[in-house]
Structure 1
Amino acid sequence: MTYMISPSLMCMNLIEIKSQLEVLDTRADFLHIDIMDGHYVKNITLSPFFIEQIRPHTNLKIDVHLMVEEPSDFIDAVANAGADYICPHAETINRDAFRIINQIRKHNKKVGVVLNPATPVEYIKHYIHLLDKITVMTVDPGYAGQPFIPEMLNKIQELAALKKEHGYNYLIEIDGSCNTKTFHDLLGAGAEVLIVGTSGLFNLDPNLAVAWDKMTANIRQAEQAA
């Protein structure tokens, strides 16, 4: 079973950002950065400036999740700051999805789209073939630490089946409550990228290297049970 790990930096200890980035840079596959505008969700987190500050200190691909009302207002800034993947919510782009996709492509960046729990795969059917990554929210967006929504396993399975049937190239990524309680079901459903936050990684141990080892042991145990 192949999977990749994308730590959510909004959950890291920002006081220890340099040392924590050094730990992640040799272990993770992506760095996940949430940008919230306080309107699409009632929270404000990281920013294009944050991307610009960490870009020189990591070789990992930076994956930006845009939880914003107007993604087009942010795309140029996050691209220029050093993002590798830019992923707006389908609910915010469907009135101009092809224009948004082209805006991201003009920067030679990978295109992702994020689906809220109540948003069906059908919603993106006309441009699913253009996507490099699809993120399934397994919690409602906006805050860390919410409970897993088990109905999303069917959505992951649907995306995995479509990918196999049509030869699509998108990665299937999971955002929300990826931890020891859910690893087995997520991987079994077809998840390929796991975004890990407080419960999956950062709260496992004050020493991030130790926490990482505990997380990977939890995932290995889930794989063996699959």
Structure 2
Amino acid sequence: MSIQISPSLMCMNLMEIKQQLSVLNSRADFLHVDIMDGHYVKNITLSPFFIEQIRPHTPVAIDVHLMVETPTDFIAAVAQAGADFICPHAETINRDAFRVINQIRALGKKPGVVLNPATPVSWIHHYLHLLDKITVMTVDPGYAGQPFIPEMVNKIAELKALKMQHGYRYLIEIDGSCNQKTYGTLLEAGAEVLIVGTSGLFNLHDRLEIAWDKMMSNITQAQSLLQESA
């Protein structure tokens, strides 16, 4: 399986959103939209209204990361706005995870779940088979540009092993410090989707198409080194 790329739109240049979307539309596998409520994390970023505004201008699947205390306050709104994947944090849904997953599925969307660095895979064992995506946070949530937490490599490998053993369908996605320094480690552990932000994509060049090519060159180099060492 080739690696899939999900640019984090909170890191894009919002003054050039139309031009940058046109670049991403022919390249990205997903568009990652962070929604924060200022409570679950001490930050506020994008919104259901943002999704509604970009939806007519992109054919790419929109993947919504709900960094919010009460996901059920947002699920219907982001679904109506045009989200394709809806991914709350495990800590916010485990009291009623099956009901939340069923709600997402009933709206015609794909359910995912996000694991904070200190949250073990065991928290979601009972509903792994219902998920279309699992996002492993390799930084603490809420802010861009944080350092990679190396202890997360084992968590990625654990999810990969469980997927292979049981035939689960979920994609293994990585959120946090996905860049040239970490690509090799993440790919070797079993990452399937990389969320790229400032360090991985948007800060590589002022022109996004050039930045994209640089990013892909870095990923290809990491893949080649892994093949050589296999």
Settle same-fold status: TM greater than 0.5: yes
The unaligned stretches of length 5 or more in structure 2 are none
Question: Who is 2:185 aligned against?
Answer: 185
Q: What is residue 74 of structure 2 aligned with on the other side?
A: 74
Residue 88 of structure 1 is matched in structure 2 by 88
Instruction: Provide the residue aligned with 1:121 in structure 2.
Output: 121
Match of 1:52 in 2: 52
Cα distance, 1:93 vs. partner? Answer: 0.2
After superposition, what is the alpha-carbon deviation per residue over 1:170-213, rounded to whole angstroms, capped at 9, x for unaligned?
00000000000000000000000000000000000000000000
**SS of structure 1 residue aligned to 2:74:** helix
Q: Partners in 1 of 2:106 and 2:112 — Cα distance? A: 14
Q: What residue is the counterpart of 1:143 in the other structure?
A: 143
How far did 1:2 drift?
A: 1.5
Question: What letter corresponds to residue 26 of structure 1 in structure 2?
Answer: S
Tell me how many residue pairs correspond in the alignment: 226
**Aligned twin of 2:156:** 156
Residue in 1 that maps onto 2:224: 224
2:29 partner amino acid = D
**Could you say which residue in structure 2 is the equivalent of 1:63?**
63
**In structure 1, distance between residues paired with 2:99 and 2:131:** 13
Query: 1:159, 1:2 → 2: CA distance?
Result: 17
Per the alignment, residue 104 of structure 1 pairs with 104
Partner of 1:33: 33
Q: Sequence identity, in percent?
A: 78
Supply the RMSD in Å over aligned alpha carbons: 0.5
Structure 1 runs (4+) deviating above 2 angstroms are none
1:95 is displaced (CA, Å) by: 0.4
Q: In the TM superposition, what is the alpha-carbon distance from 1:44 to its structure 2 partner? A: 0.1
Amino acid at match of 2:195: I
Q: Work out the CA distance in 1 between the residues paired with 2:188 and 2:24.
A: 25
- Larger displacement relative to structure 2 (1-10 or 56-65): 1-10
Query: What amino acid is the match of 1:57?
Result: H
CA distance in 2, matches of 1:186, 1:102: 30
Residue aligned with 2:174, SS: strand
Could you report, residue by residue, the CA deviation over 1:67-106 in whole angstroms, capped at 9, with x for unpaired residues? 0000000000000000000000000000010110011011
Deviates more, 1:66-75 or 1:1-10: 1-10
Helix, strand or coil: the match of 1:125?
helix
Cα distance in structure 1, aligned partners of 2:113 and 2:225: 30
**One-letter amino acid matched to 1:47:** S
